[in-house]
Amino acid sequence: AYAMPATDLERVLADVWAQVLRVQRVGVHDNFFELGGDSILAVQIIGALDRFGLTVTLDALFRAPTVSALGATLTAATPHQPLPEPFELLTEQERVMLPPGVEDAYPMTATQLGMYLQNRLHGNSRIYHNLNSLEVTGRLDPDAFTAAVEAAVARTPALRTGFAVDGLIRPLQLVHATAPADVTCADLTGFTEAEQEVAIEKVIADELADPFEPSRPPQIRFRLLRRAADRFQLLVVESHLIVDGWSFTSLLAEIFEDHWSILTTGSPVDRPPLRSSFAEFVRLEQAAITSDESRRFWARQVADAPPTRLADLAEQEGELTIARQPVEIPLAVERGLRELANRLGVPLKSVLLAAHLRVLAGLLGAREVVSGMVTHGRPEGPDGDRIKGLFLNTVPIRLALGSGSWSDIVRMTHRAEVDLLPHRRYPLGRILRDLHRSELFDASFHFVTFHELKRVFHEDSPWVIRPDSRSSENTHFRLMAAFSVHPPADRLGLVLVHDEVTLGRHIGLLADAYQRALAALAFDADAAHASFSLLERAESWALGGSIDDSAGVVPSVRSWVERSPDATAVVAGDVRWTYAELWRRSGVVAARLAESGVGRGSFVGIGLPRSADLIPVLLGVLRSGAAYVPLPPWYPADRLRFMIEDVGVSLVVGALDDADVPVLPTESLWSGDVPVGPVAELSAADPAYVIYTSGSTGRPKGVVVTHGNLGWLLASTRPVVRPGPDDVWSVFHSYAFDVSVFEIWGALASGGAAVVVGGDVVRSPQAFGRLLVDEGVTVLSQTPSAFKQLVGRLPGDCRVRCVVFGGERLDMAAVRSWRADPVVAGLSLLNLYGITETTVHVTAHAVGVDEPVESPVGLGMAGTRVWVLDGFLRPVPVGVVGEIYVGGQGVALGYWGRAGLTAERFVPDVYSGVSGARMYRSGDLARVRADGGLEYIGRADSQVKVRGHRIELGEIEYAIAAFPGVRSCVVSALRDGEAVRLVAYVVAVEGVSLTVGQLREFLAVGLAEYMIPAVFVFLPELPLTVNGKVDRSALPAPDEDRPELSTAYAMPATDLERVLADVWAQVLRVQRVGVHDNFFELGGDSILAVGIAAEAQLRTGRPVHLVDIYQAPSVRALANHLTEPLLDSWE
């Protein structure tokens, strides 16, 4: 209810609020945001209160948004710092360098400089070259309109501003005393409607193709096209460097007011001088830059923030192609959003921002998200809202989405907004520089209410002015959610400004997601937001199917014993055992185990070398009803001891030192007269084996796989590999690695032969290649790392028909290079994805000759359900990265003795429809391709942090592997004190000589600077583990004497190089600079580049431009550039 002001202070506040917010009266408990307040209106209130001697800040008003609450916080006004005098923000040295005709000058803001560099580095691109197209109906006189524009240019410093960078100490903006008004008028009344449209499109194309020269004002052009006596097309082209959206609409309103005043009185509106200036904003930004408090605030906010990278959604690389997708917001939804904002006591912007962040989280498949948010840093004094200029800064807003309601997200979003307000002027570039990051997000949010247009967009206006679809405003973000409120109807609008390459195929889905998120906020804000998904129906897709044929391993082997008793089953060196002999020996093992009290429910340790004995021992354990536990003798004793104790091993077969359980040596297995033991009665739920995998805590965890799981594996891979009794399988991998399960039992369950590969042969690609030929191997399972060693070494008479990849990400760039080997070109290559916890393999893909994606792993195999889910277990759309979850018949029992960890990773399968069903949370990232198959991205937890960046090492590895002449590589992150260095270990193709320079230049095309390794180490081969994976622990340490830079120090060789090296060392504050050292690796940025360009020009007498430093970022490259004939100039 309305409550009257009770004190003089409250009456002043209430009167000011009523005047600015244009309401009849304001009660002391009325909420500023419910009354329609926003940040621009807040600046007006702050300026008005200053006249009464009251000091208020923007964040104070946002934290205390009622007259009563604000009054309790107010203090007497602190004296305002006087407005900067002309040239006050320059040094004396800068002032003497100014050209004539300049009435003021001050440094460029960080946002202006960033835009300037973007344009210059991309050939004066149109990224910040905006075109506004308006349809005007009513009385409009071209001469009066031109006079109104001239008056605007005369009184508005921003319209007389040009930019000077080259040859100066730092980038400046120069306010010229005079500047022309660039207005042209054309009469199209003699044209047909269709001819007018063609003419208008021609003018638009010409204007968009004509970039502004940054040094020459005005940076704005007006094109007035008369279509009828009272109908016009007004095109306004402007450089974003001089005005933001609010400034532009305010300027437009003033021009139309002046036009009417000129028509009716003969002169423009008489406006008093403004009591604020753009130079004041420049001074405020400079103060923010030096603020330790703001620097610490942003470090706390985003130092460890996960990057938002929509670029990863792109199916192919390409230049940004900006498109606009309007999103309809029904009136009922808009009313519901405003009511929610009023109920929660927050601005409408907070509600819209919450919707944006929730949609972005769904698009990224994440529970925590960072987006850009466009803020303004206008001075908070009198007339701060009326200055024209570019006051914008895009700051990161980070939100961790809990499990609460939509209203909770709004409250958290608003708190985050209010917290950052005092630090909103700290430039984004500085935030990134402080954190040593090149990017935090490539999606942003913008909201603006165009209050000023109400001055000309109202019922009594002599014109009807409507923006049309021809308007063009670009962005360097992949996605900009641009919300706005336009008079006269004050309807809420949304346009998704997006990159077609990245989001073109998703934009319809994305627009629908924004509509549904906004509707949820409007109508059901107290509901849990976790049920929201970019896919409206959860059952939209799942990979995989069902399977009934899942006979156990033991019955399958026995069936081949009965059918083909004399067929070869096991090969190891000189040993050749038939199926009959294998069955007999495994029966002996089962009997020996029974004698020792081993039976169903027992766990038997296997401590054998790679030998023929391994196979009958494993089969014998299964026949006894027990489960086997691999305990390779080459493992550390402490690890073996832990596994034995953890799972409760009853007995170990083999030879293990210091085992605290009974040991059955292999030599005693076959001695004496032992009857063949019977086959135990087994159920699908009985454990078949326990394989230990590494744990994040350093404690291994035992994965319990059942006979049902194992039977499913063999049945589901049968249609993929098509094994038969003529096949010979290599058992290449350690039996402690789950791929060996597929190798051994895949061979024996299909009547084929299993060739056990000895340890010496595994470590020698040449010896292994000979073995493949000698034994006639037809089915070869390999990790990509191991197979790389074979490429070029496979003999022509090799009988391998099928290579099954697994265990690591398969890179298609590498596969394409492998196919140059004629032997590999003739092989069937299968890429199978899986996890120990889901019984080896769960998806399969036949690798084509020209794959469109980097690592396809195909469709889920029969009997599985493979989902790609977001952080709230909701399916993500096609192309969106999420985490792989696997349900179905391959899901293991869990981790032995680790109930908590099992519950964390084996979660309820909410999509199966089966009570008690579970799915495994893999920790692997993937996306669903348009054809329904999966593309594997990498581990969700395999990132490293270098200089504040979260980096996926696999991304760098595959970028290096794509370089011609690289056979294999691996990247490691090595800690050096507090710092972390990226080190690349590279193996070249035989006969190819690689250099660091070649690799760095190649990587710079596709990788961010911080992702390029600091050190490159060239090796003849990569060390491999016994499982065929890269042995990172065996990688050599890089040369400790090598500097942090990727290139060794090289002395300057000429006088010019010596001068430039001295300039770089002086400006960058380093002891010495070599001629090949990279400017950006030495800590350079755009501001320092300006200093180097200016000092180098002074010392060398040659013109040195800012862009030269970017295009030639080493002393030698710059020296060579400066000695080339001058063919062109930026001037």
CA-based torsion, 1098, 1101, 1106, 1109: positive or negative:
negative
Among 294-303, 665-674, 851-860, the range of highest mean pLDDT? 294-303
Phi, psi of 510 (to 5 degrees): -70, -45
Token pair 């970022």 is found at 1113
* Res 125: pLDDT: 60
Q: Are 717 and 661 in contact (CB under 8 A)?
A: no
Q: Which fold has domain 943-1018?
A: GMP Synthetase; Chain A, domain 3 (3.30.300)
Confidence of residue 329 (pLDDT cuts 50, 70, 90): very high
* Residue 1057 CB neighbour total at 10 angstroms: 20
Q: How does DSSP assign 826-873, residue by residue?
A: TSEEEEEE--GGGTS--EEEE--SS-SSSSEEEEEPBTEEEEEE-TTS
Assess contact for 320 and 445: CB atoms under 8 A.
no
- Dmax (CA) for the chain in angstroms is 123
pLDDT at 1040 over 90: no
Task: Answer whether residue 680 shows pLDDT above 90.
Answer: no
Amino acid at 295: R
Q: If pLDDT is split at 50, 70 and 90, which confidence band does 698 have?
A: very low
Amino acid at residue number 1088: L
Mean pLDDT lowest among 369-383, 516-530, 998-1012: 998-1012
Which two structure tokens, joined as six digits, stand for 804?
Answer: 């099954």
Q: What is the pLDDT of residues 1065-1109, one digit of tens each?
A: 888 777 788 888 888 767 676 667 777 887 888 888 888 887 788
Output Rg (C-alpha) for the chain, integer angstroms: 36
Q: How many CB atoms lie within 10 A of CB 641?
A: 16
> Cβ(1019)–Cβ(984) under 8 Å?
no
The mean predicted confidence, pLDDT, of the chain is 87
CA distance 815 to 837: 28
Least confident of 35-39, 665-669, 834-838, 1088-1092: 1088-1092
What's the confidence (pLDDT) of residue 222? 98
For residue 897, what are its two tokens?
Answer: 């003795």
Can you tell me the distance from the alpha carbon of 623 to that of 613, in angstroms, rounded to the nearest whole number? 15
Of the given ranges (315-329, 823-837, 876-890, 1026-1040), which has the lowest mean pLDDT?
1026-1040
Residues in the chain: 1131
* Amino acid making up residue 124: N
**What percent of the chain has pLDDT above 70?**
91
Contact status, residue 607 vs residue 632, Cβ threshold 8 Å: yes
Q: What is the pLDDT of residues 535-578, one digit of tens each?
A: 765 444 456 666 765 578 999 999 999 999 999 999 999 999 99
Of the pLDDT bands very low, low, confident and very high (cuts 50, 70, 90), residue 91 is very high
CA 53 vs. chain centroid, Å, equals 48
Instruction: Between 797 and 355, name the one with better pLDDT.
Output: 355
Encoded tokens for 311: 């670029």
Per-residue confidence band for 949, with pLDDT thresholds at 50, 70 and 90 = very low
What average pLDDT score do residues 960-981 get? 76
Fold (topology level) of 8-73: 1.10.1200
| Of the candidates 239, 104, 109, the residue with the CA atom closest to the CA atom of residue 1087 | 109
Rounded distance between C-alpha atoms, residue 252 and residue 461, angstroms: 14
Q: d(Cα 657, Cα 1067) in Å, to the nearest integer?
A: 64
Scored b (16 or more CB within 10 A) or e, 571-586 reads: bbeeeebbbebbbebb
Pairing relation of β-strands 172-176 and 161-164? antiparallel
Q: Quick one: DSSP state of residue 1043?
A: -
* 5 DSSP assignment: -
Give the homologous superfamily in CATH for domain 1055-1122: ACP-like (1.10.1200.10)
Q: In CATH, what number does 553-926 get?
A: 3.40.50.12780
Question: What confidence tens digit (pLDDT) does each residue in 199-242 have?
Answer: 999 999 999 989 899 999 999 999 999 999 999 999 999 999 99
Cα gap 178→102, rounded to integer Å: 8
Torsion of Cα atoms, 1041 then 1044 then 1045 then 1050, to 10°: -30
Instruction: State both tokens at 1067.
Output: 């400006």
Q: Strand pairing of 651-654 and 627-630?
A: unpaired
b/e 502-538 (16+ beta carbons within 10 angstroms → b): bbbbbbebbbebbbbbbbbbbeebeeebbebbbbeeb
DSSP string, 654-696: E--TT-SS-EE-HHHHSSS--PPPPPPP--TTSEEEEEEE--T
Q: How confident is the model at residue 696 (pLDDT cuts 50, 70, 90)?
A: very low
Tell me the fold of 294-531: Chloramphenicol Acetyltransferase (3.30.559)
C-beta of residue 313 within 8 angstroms of C-beta of residue 502: yes
Q: How confident is the model at residue 77 (pLDDT cuts 50, 70, 90)?
A: low
Domain boundaries, the chain: 8-73, 92-271, 294-531, 553-926, 943-1018, 1055-1122
The mean pLDDT value for 865-891 works out to 90
pLDDT(492) > 90: yes
Q: Looking at the DSSP assignment, which residues form a beta bridge with residue 480? A: 444, 497
Q: 113 versus 81: which is more confidently predicted?
A: 113
Whole-number pLDDT of residue 1043: 37
Residues 123-139 pLDDT 10s: 656 678 889 999 999 99
Q: What is the mean pLDDT of residues 252-261?
A: 94
751-772 average pLDDT score: 91
Instruction: Name the residue among 109, 358, 392 with its Cα closest to residue 243.
Output: 392
CATH architecture of 92-271: 2-Layer Sandwich (3.30)
- Cα–Cα distance for residue pair 1026/768, rounded to 1 Å: 13
75-76 and 828-833 as β-strands: parallel, antiparallel, unpaired? Answer: unpaired
User: Are 8-73 and 294-531 equal in CATH topology?
Assistant: no
Whole-angstrom Cα distance, residue 211 to residue 649?
A: 77
- Is the preceding omega at residue 467 within 30 degrees of 0, hence cis? no
**Beta-strand relationship, 463-467 and 687-693:** unpaired
pLDDT at 978: 37
Tell me the sheet residues that pair with 568: 578
Torsion sign (Cα): 294, 295, 298, 299:
negative
**Contact of 354 with 521, CB cutoff 8 Å:** yes
Question: Closest Cα to residue 421, out of 359, 378, 456?
Answer: 378
With a cut of 70, say whether residue 977 has pLDDT above it.
no
Going by C-alpha positions, the residue among 231, 303, 748 that lies closest to residue 466 is 231
pLDDT band at residue 1017 under the 50/70/90 scheme: confident
**pLDDT for 169:** 82
What CA–CA distance (Å, rounded) separates 203 from 309?
37
The pLDDT of 959-975, averaged and rounded, is 85
Please spell the DSSP secondary structure of 897-930, one letter per residue. T-HHHHHHHEEE-TTS-STT-EEEEEEEEEEE-T
Whether 497 and 473 have beta carbons less than 8 Å apart is answered as: yes
**pLDDT category, 61, cuts 50, 70, 90?**
confident
Residue 928 has pLDDT above 80, yes or no: yes
Q: Is 1016:999 a contact under the CB 8 Å cutoff?
A: yes
Look at the block and give the residue holding tokens 């001037």: 1131
More confident: 311 or 1084: 311
Distance (Å, rounded) from C-alpha 339 to C-alpha 333? Answer: 10
Q: Binning pLDDT at 50, 70 and 90, where does residue 262 land?
A: very high
> Torsions phi, psi of 933, nearest 5?
-80, 170
What pLDDT is attached to residue 901?
A: 92
Q: Which residue has the tokens 């960058």?
A: 1068
Task: Please tell me the predicted confidence (pLDDT) of residue 548.
Answer: 62
